[in-house]
Structure 1
Amino acid sequence: MEPSHRIALITGGSRGIGAATTIALAERGFDVVLTYRNKVARAEEVIAEATLRDVRTLAIRSDITRQNERDQLFAMVRAWGGRLDVLVLNASGGLERDLLAVDPAYPMHINRDAQVELLNAALPLMHPGSVVAFITSHWAHLYGQVDQIPTYAPVAESKYAGEQALRARLPELDKRGIRLVVITGDLIEGTITPKLLERAEPGLTGQRQASVGKLPTAEEMGEAIAAAAVDNTLPSGHTVVIGASLDQMLHNKS
């Protein structure tokens, strides 16, 4: 049976920006599928809240760096909905000490390689008018142009590589009638990244607030992502900026 609502898949949708994006898309009438890596209770809380919007919901446990789990993910999405209207590539990593201890190249594997493979797997379910949204940070988007937070540098490098790999697919996406939008955010309150960075860079959040003022929240980021996904006036390849402007980042060089 053809689903009555549009369908969105949000990777890393159980917390922070991903959770906020899931709710924002549900508010706009999307049936939502979210992935999570290991926190089922948290994923179920997001799903319960999204369901209040009178949409269908599904949470799928998936390590997006593993081919077999990506295959299972999209088999489940295909069986559940049969298509995808929006793919939000939000899940990322590279600060997790346990994963880095096992795989020093983990940042590149999750932030570049997995993103490309997720797109490859999603394309057969997408149609003209569908949207791919890649979520990144100012430091990653401007990698090579601004000073990096040392602890975050491998993440920024790999997310920049992921963005460039996706942008290289623009001609193919254009032929399919699928738009790519990139949403880049400043340091985002209410997410895990500032907490992890504070361990190595105490006072980082306060310094950033002193430099640019109020930081955007996860909810504001989620709203911006959802708005970009449904804004057909945004051209493919467009970058949406949340928080400090990129010019300000380039001027400050930090």
Structure 2
Amino acid sequence: MQLDGKVALITGGTRGIGAATAIEMAKRGADIAVVGRYHDAETDETLAQITQTGRRGVFISGDMSLSEDAARCVEETVQTFGKLDVLVHSAGGPAGGSLLEVTPETWNHAFDVHVHAIFYLCRAAVPYLKKQGEGAIVLVSSAAGLRGCLNALAYGVVKGAVIQFTRALARELADDNLRVNCVAPGVIRTRFHDSMTPEQAKNNLDNRIPLHREGTSEEVAQVIVMLAENNFMTGETVTIDGGITMRIA
């Protein structure tokens, strides 16, 4: 599916991986609805870069953990651009802690943000995607959803759920020519990882990541765009992590 002339809704699109994806899709000819909770200077910068490509960009405020917000954001996208071809869910947030450290509130919030949100979004978006005769959904999971990670129980569980949601929904929508895929990033230089101590960052580069560097939002965006465009991929999760999940020692 060529992105030229298409419309994409991207959650978490004001910064990081979501913003990089919005800009890359605009470069390929798509109009973009950028969804986030807050409109700030980073939002303006993302919209400016979309506009510089010659495509249209609009910001829509919403909290994807709320079903009514998810539905409204989809409706506003269609009202603005007349259709919807691509859905990318990049919004999320940390959920640290071990079994005895994670509170019920943190546990439930992790499911709201990472699992319930994609259910609400896809439920709202799929009827519009079906109208186009083809469409793509790309969800952002994590390498933490593929392997066990210390002090990230809730995060690992919900990101694993995103991967299974991808498979289940891909099977359900295949007859409608709607593809559903997932990307699982490792350590990417975004605000999400700003809380790492210098010691943790050094350990990642020296000992954990075989390529000995962090990834960039732009590199992840390239994979997301590929998953949106490739007409023969569905139900798959592509890992981009510098080799963390393939290593034994």
TM-score (structure 1 length as normaliser): 0.85
Structure 1 residue 102: deviation in Å?
Answer: 9.8
- Whether the aligned pair in 1 keeps the contact of 2:93 and 2:192 (CA below 8 Å) is no
State the partner residue of 1:23: 23
Structure 1 residue 180: deviation in Å?
Answer: 1.0
Structure 1 residue 129: deviation in Å?
Answer: 2.4
- 2:116 counterpart (99, 113, 117): 113
State the partner residue of 1:221: 220
Per the alignment, in what secondary structure is the counterpart of residue 126 of structure 1?
Answer: helix
Rounded Cα–Cα distance in structure 1 between residues aligned with 2:62 and 2:174:
29
Q: Does 1:139 align with 2:144?
A: yes
Identity of aligned residues (%): 26
State the partner residue of 2:135: 130
The one-letter code sitting in structure 1 at the alignment partner of 2:171 is P
Structure 1 residue 66: deviation in Å?
Answer: 1.2
State the partner residue of 1:192: 191
Over the aligned positions, Cα root-mean-square deviation in angstroms equals 2.3
**Runs of 5+ consecutive residues of structure 2 not aligned to the other structure:** none
Matches within 5 A, 1:59-208: 59-95=59-95, 103-104=105-106, 105-127=108-130, 128-140=133-145, 142=146, 146-150=147-151, 152-189=152-189, 191-196=190-195, 198=196, 203-208=199-204
Sort the Cα spacing of 1:54 and 1:101 in 2 relative to 1 into closer, same or farther, 3 A.
farther
Rounded Cα–Cα distance in structure 2 between residues aligned with 1:102 and 1:12:
25
Rounded Cα–Cα distance in structure 2 between residues aligned with 1:86 and 1:106:
26
Sort the Cα spacing of 1:166 and 1:228 in 2 relative to 1 into closer, same or farther, 3 A.
closer
State the partner residue of 2:58: 58
The one-letter code sitting in structure 2 at the alignment partner of 1:230 is E
Q: Does 1:209 align with 2:212?
A: no
- Whether the aligned pair in 2 keeps the contact of 1:116 and 1:166 (CA below 8 Å) is no
Rounded Cα–Cα distance in structure 1 between residues aligned with 2:105 and 2:15:
24
Rounded Cα–Cα distance in structure 1 between residues aligned with 2:51 and 2:129:
23
Rounded Cα–Cα distance in structure 1 between residues aligned with 2:213 and 2:74:
38
- Whether the aligned pair in 2 keeps the contact of 1:108 and 1:159 (CA below 8 Å) is no
Structure 1 residue 95: deviation in Å?
Answer: 3.7
Deviation by residue 1:1-58 (Cα, 9 ceiling, x = unmatched)? xxx8200111000111011001110111110111111243321210111110001111
Per the alignment, in what secondary structure is the counterpart of residue 65 of structure 1?
Answer: coil
- Whether the aligned pair in 2 keeps the contact of 1:94 and 1:154 (CA below 8 Å) is no
- Whether the aligned pair in 2 keeps the contact of 1:94 and 1:106 (CA below 8 Å) is no
- Whether the aligned pair in 1 keeps the contact of 2:137 and 2:180 (CA below 8 Å) is yes
Rounded Cα–Cα distance in structure 1 between residues aligned with 2:25 and 2:95:
28
Per the alignment, in what secondary structure is the counterpart of residue 88 of structure 1?
Answer: strand
- 1:242 counterpart (236, 240, 243): 240
Per the alignment, in what secondary structure is the counterpart of residue 48 of structure 2?
Answer: helix
Rounded Cα–Cα distance in structure 2 between residues aligned with 1:75 and 1:30:
18
